[in-house]
Amino acid sequence: MTAHSVLGDYLATLEQALRFSREEKRRILLEAKDHLLEDAARDEAGGVASDEAERRAVKRFGDAQAVARRFAEEQVPVVTLRGVTKNFLTPSGGVYTALHHVDLEVRATEFLALVGPSGCGKSTALALISGLESPSQGEVRVMNEPVRGIGKDVGYVFQTDAVFPWKNVLDNVATGPRFRGAPRDDANARARDWISRVGLSGFESHYPHQLSGGMRKRAALAQTLINEPRILLMDEPFSALDVQTRTLMENELLQLWSATGSAVVFVTHDLEEAISLADRVVVLTAGPGTVKGVYPVDLPRPRNVAEIRFQPEFARIYREIWNDLRDEVQLSYERSKRNLS
């Protein structure tokens, strides 16, 4: 690509339109350049002249000003925790602090993973974002509004299956639209579409006990995503699956997420899983949990979870995060031993 090529001129215009730090602007321009080059290359492979292929790629990518606005909107946080502390009363009448003075932001369309030792408040953070719990101190905002209860913009996939055992797959997936007032035929049509998307076509009449663990998890994903949540909360959703099924489900999740544009907050104990899936990994300290570190995951997308782990950059990111996480895991382990003795 020459300095005065169609793509070069477009990227120069885009650079002027972007209102970000130098490093962030560089990242966006590299991402845009890679996308445009790949798009133009497909047309060239079909016999289209180079300049024309570039013009077509630029047209499909969109007006530079509009693209800059889109990138700006993606940086706006859809979830904000400011100085959040969460206390629980214990059976003995004491106070247990799960989270302490947590500051956290999740941007639109971002995939963010929360990792930390057991008992550090990862699931509590999801409960606060969803509105299932209220903070003892601080503020939680979703879509720039204070969380006052369970909101329509949030979907939640739990660690255990949350499908209704007395409903078949079709009725389970159609539950959300029907609860929101959609006519039965419309709800069922949307449910069939999502059942197809998650690879369960032909199993509409099956009940949860007739499905494998991976199939039940697919049904749970469809049941949540059919409601088009702006924010998807996932609490160790694949921890009970075998290794092979888990890898398949992780790839399936990435494909579904890329098509929906939702922000994802994903809780896991598995650091490899966190890096494979996320744009950023947040490390929480041993309880009471607070943010110890935030790590960008600069790995290319789309990703194949089974293959991305062999890249040298993956190993470098893993070592960097594990150096931060290891002390917290050790501290949590020592505490648990003292409590048992």
Looking at the structure, do residues 240 and 196 belong to the same domain, yes or no?
no
pLDDT of residue 132: 94
Looking at the structure, do residues 235 and 294 belong to the same domain, yes or no?
yes
The SS3 of residue 98 is: strand
Residue 168 structure tokens: 């078949």
- HEC string of 114-145 equals EECCCCCCHHHHHHHHHCCCCCCEEEEEECCE
295 domain-assigned: yes
158 domain-assigned: no
Looking at the structure, do residues 182 and 256 belong to the same domain, yes or no?
no
Looking at the structure, do residues 256 and 320 belong to the same domain, yes or no?
yes
Looking at the structure, do residues 199 and 306 belong to the same domain, yes or no?
no
Per-residue pLDDT of the chain (341 residues; tens, 9 = 90+): 444 588 899 999 998 888 777 877 888 888 888 889 988 898 899 899 989 999 999 999 989 888 888 777 777 789 999 999 999 998 988 999 999 999 999 998 899 999 999 989 999 999 999 999 999 999 999 988 999 988 889 999 988 888 999 999 999 999 999 998 999 999 999 999 999 999 999 999 999 999 998 899 999 999 999 999 999 999 999 988 899 999 999 999 999 998 887 999 999 999 999 999 999 999 999 989 999 999 999 998 889 999 999 999 999 999 999 999 999 999 888 888 777 76
Domain end position, chosen among 194, 227, 260: 227
63 domain-assigned: yes
* Torsion angle of C-alpha atoms 53, 55, 56, 61, degrees rounded to 10: 120
159 domain-assigned: no
Instruction: Give the span between the Cα atoms of 308 and 275, in whole angstroms.
Output: 9
Looking at the structure, do residues 66 and 93 belong to the same domain, yes or no?
no
Looking at the structure, do residues 15 and 129 belong to the same domain, yes or no?
no
The SS3 of residue 230 is: coil
302 domain-assigned: yes
pLDDT of residue 3: 43
Residue 30 structure tokens: 């590299």
Looking at the structure, do residues 241 and 304 belong to the same domain, yes or no?
yes
Looking at the structure, do residues 61 and 39 belong to the same domain, yes or no?
yes
> Is pTM, for the whole model, over 0.75?
yes
Please tell me the total count of domains within the chain: 3
39 domain-assigned: yes
Domain end position, chosen among 18, 40, 70: 70
Residues 6 or more apart whose CB falls under 8 angstroms from that of 36 comprise: 7, 10, 11, 54, 57, 58, 61
88 domain-assigned: yes
Q: Which domain holds residue 288?
A: 78-153+229-340
46 domain-assigned: yes
Assess contact for 241 and 214: CB atoms under 8 A.
yes
